[in-house]
Each structure stands twice: as C-alpha cells, then as structure tokens.
Homo-oligomer: A and B are copies of this chain.
C-alpha cells in the first residue's frame, strides 16, 4: 500500500496542493496575500500538483522555447544522472542528450529545423515522460508526445490561424456488417452550418494501430483544411475519418473497454485482411450522404489513407469504381505476399483497376518517402500499374514512414480534389 503523509492530511493543504481551481477559492477567502502570490506562481507554472519547491522551480522553466527555426528544451531534474530527448526531427535521428547546469536545469537546443509540427519525449534515467512544462500533447497509437510548431512554412498549415474555422464532430453510424455502432470523426468546412450548400467529401483513413482520432489529432486535419480553404488552395469539403479497425467500435477510451483498452500496433485484429472492411465501406458513404449536406455523386467523392489506410484505399476504390473519383495512397502498406487473395475484395485486382480506368478515375495519387521500408512494395505496385497503362501521379518525398510525410501528402493531395 502507499505510505501516506499524515502531516499533509488536512483538507486545506490537500486542496492547496492538488487543484488549480482552488486558487479561485483562496482569493475569496482571504488567505495571506503572500501565500496567494506564491501559489499563483506555482500554478501559473503548470504545476498544480507537486512538492511546493518543485513546483516553484518547474514554474520558472519554459520548455520548449521556439525561436525561428530553433527550439530549446529544458527540464528541471536536479537529481537526474542522464536526460535524453527523442523526437521526430531528422538530423541525427532526432535523439540527443541534455546537459545540466548548476541549478539542476537540463537543456539543449536544436537549430535549423524545417517548418513543421514536431513530437518529442524526454527519457530521464530510463523513465520516458512528456515535457512537464508543455501542456500540449498528441497521442499516436499508444504513445503520448509533447508537441511544438516551427512556423514559416508547412507548420503554418498545421497551426490555428485567424481564418474561418470548420466544425469537428464525433458521431456514430450503425454498421450492418459488424452489427454495432461505430464512431466516426467528421470535419465540416466553414460556412457548412448555414445550410446553404452541399459539399464534396474526402474519406480519410488512418494506419495500423490508429483510429478515428488519428487524422484530427496527430494529422492536424482541421487546421490543414481550414488553412487550405481560407487561402483558396482547396475547395470547401467535408472530411470523413472512420475507424479502420473493425474489432473496435471507437478509439481507445471511447469504447466500453474504457481505460482497459491499451492501444498498440497490430494487423492481427479480426476483420483485417478478410476484405470485410473494404466491401462494407459503402455503409460509411451511405451514412455520410444521409446525414450530411453532401454532393452524393462519384465526381464529388475522394478516398485516401496512410499506411494500412492506403491498403484500404486501394481495395475500396477498386471494389467501388462507381463510388469514388479520386484516390490517395499515402505510404501505402501494399505488399500482397501476406494477403489471402481469395477474399472477394482482393480478387481480380488487375481487372478492377482496368475497370476503374475505363470508368474514368480523375486522380490516382501515390506518395511515399525515399527512406520508407515500404518503398519496394510500392515500386512493385507501380510496375503493375505501368503494365496496365493505368494513369497515376507519384510523389517520392524524403524521410520515412512518418506523420510529417502524411500531413505533407494531404497538403499536396487536397488541393487537387473536386476542381471540376
């Protein structure tokens, strides 16, 4: 059992230590001004719970501190022996060590970062942790990361700017295939709520281990669409982000498993690679068309996805040539050697691609990083497409199987949609 501090057991002290809202209470009940002042400093420093000295010190540390294309990380860890940082910037693998000053503050600076949104964690004597002075985090599959933005380029598209904002809706549709309600995240563009127009729809799929929160959270979709639309670079569109793991109703924490659902990478869930998701995808399209102000016709529908979602995209559009006019395969996971091609969804792919071409697909877009382990299988698939004289656009970016590429691919792909 946990040893409890008897000396800390008074209600008043408990409140002081634990809850930020209590400062409101305190200011009303006239404690000593000095005490309030110190507490405000503590609380302003993002440390409502903590030993008082710790809190005061942590409150003086600002991390991360972005200046142009450089970022400085700081951590007050006076007893630590070694503080590492791991992030998703490229140079040196995004891994480094912080150095300690005499006051117990560890720090390091990384310069010349390209504009983007970045993810990082500290490792303090083998214990991984978020930056305690940075309240902004994103979850990717089963890991939380602290985040920061380097502006002046792509990062500006991943930022909230002073432009009209769309809505983000978490809703549920009923799946006849899986006999359950399933959650879906939907972006509607600025002006949608006036009810005056109908909109085209982009169906945007996550990767393995992801869920219906992935594109809005780590993918910054709402920011990207708001900014592209505001700049006239993309037409206003609805973006529908379903959950591609048929064994779960919804994202971690949003199912009846609650906090017992420990998200992890997996391709082994039921319903993956049996084609059921691909063949049943029309359920999601029908839900969208019946509940939202869509232009419910093929030329006004696009589908795209990253990694496993690129695999899904490939077969969903191949199986529904009458439904979608645009496809985006972002670092798609399309090595067919592990696939049971006897499932109807996966059969006769060449014939389906030829039908897709004949029916007049407007855009078939493939993007992958030069350092992505999936590049060989994408090259093999491109050879197949070339053999079929199937038209597609191909973008080979730098780097690997990373969100920096997938956000960037969306920035390139969305402007190409629904132009006529």
Contacts and interface: CB of A to CB of B under 8 A. Distances in A.
Nearest to A159: B258
A267 interface: yes
A252 to B, nearest CB: 7
Given A77-B127, A125-B79, A144-B130, A94 B18 contact: yes
Contacts of A96: 2-5
A314 interface: no
A2 B149 contact: no
A136 to B, nearest CB: 5
Contact of A2 (B109, B167, B308): B109
Nearest to A377: B28
A376 B11 contact: no
A186 to B, nearest CB: 9
Nearest to A109: B1
Interface stretch (A48-56, A316-324, A346-354, A358-366): A48-56
Given A3-B108, A20-B142, A291-B193, A128 B161 contact: no
B264 A46 contact: yes
A172 interface: yes
Interface stretch (A81-89, A235-243, A412-420): A81-89
Classify chain A: how many residues form its interface, as a range.
35 or more
Given A21-B209, A25-B372, A401 B127 contact: no
Contact of A170 (B3, B24, B167, B374): B167
Contacts of A306: 21
A196 interface: no
B126 A51 contact: yes
Given A43-B142, A130-B144, 19 more contacts: A2-B96, A17-B86, A20-B209, A24-B265, A24-B307, A24-B333, A25-B373, A28-B373, A28-B377, A44-B265, A47-B128, A48-B141, A54-B126, A54-B127, A75-B127, A135-B143, A161-B256, A165-B183, A193-B291
28 contacts: A1-B109, A2-B108, A4-B96, A12-B371, A14-B90, A14-B93, A17-B86, A21-B208, A21-B265, A23-B209, A24-B401, A25-B374, A28-B377, A29-B374, A46-B262, A46-B263, A47-B128, A49-B143, A51-B84, A75-B127, A77-B127, A79-B126, A134-B259, A135-B142, A135-B263, A147-B259, A160-B250, A164-B172
Interface of A: 1-6, 8-15, 17-29, 40, 43-44, 46-51, 53-54, 57-58, 73, 75-81, 84-88, 90-99, 108-111, 121, 123-130, 132, 134-137, 139-145, 147-149, 159-162, 164-165, 167-172, 181, 183, 193, 207-210, 250, 252-256, 258-259, 262-265, 267, 291, 306-308, 333, 335, 338, 371-374, 376-377, 399-403
* Across the A-B interface, the 7 shortest Cβ-Cβ residue pairs: A2-B96, A4-B92, A2-B108, A25-B373, A14-B93, A79-B125, A129-B129
